[in-house]
Structure 1
């Protein structure tokens, strides 16, 4: 049976298209959602800032995992194998203070 695939017109604003750099991802979850915090850690600066927070359902988190695995496989076939050191240099100390400090 043929699946009906609906095309979605996705708009990408100029500001979002610029992107945000993050060099640390912190992932937490509950029974109903996954929370991905993207953080920029600057060497020598004792405080890091969450630049973006994405909240998604467990099903979408699994789809993201599959998409990342597929894209990493394609990247490594085209460019080079991505290697990681055995132990990260200067790993962040947990728990990080990610609680909001302002009031709405």
Structure 2
């Protein structure tokens, strides 16, 4: 009969400067073969700024998407279905063209 390996506990440090979190109302996602880059932004026209950047591997990104999907379902089960916010209007270059 083999013994189960003891589970290792990982202690996570939470730096004081991160405890308040940051607000983001926009997200830019880019990727290379080796990594995903997520730039979280606070945009209040006419300016915006990046509030956080997360760089992760494709495997970790897949797990994050799964965790977000699972938690969105739990949220909607508890509070009701969410509708996606409308995409912001595309900026113009000082003139309008007919559509």
Structure 2 portions without partners, runs of 5+: 93-99
What's the TM-score once normalised by structure 1's chain length? 0.74
Aligned residue pair count: 89
Give the Å deviation of 1:92.
Answer: 6.5
Give the Å deviation of 1:17.
Answer: 1.2
Residue 50 of structure 2 aligns to a residue whose secondary structure is: strand
Is the counterpart of residue 56 in structure 1 residue 56 in structure 2? yes
Residue range with higher mean Cα deviation, 6-15 or 33-42? 6-15
Q: Identify, as 1 or 2, the structure richer in strand.
A: 2
- 1:51-71 Cα deviation digits (max 9, x unpaired): 111000000000100000011
Larger radius of gyration: 2
Residue 70 of structure 1 aligns to a residue whose secondary structure is: helix
The RMSD of aligned alpha carbons is 2.2
Structure 1 portions without partners, runs of 5+: 94-104
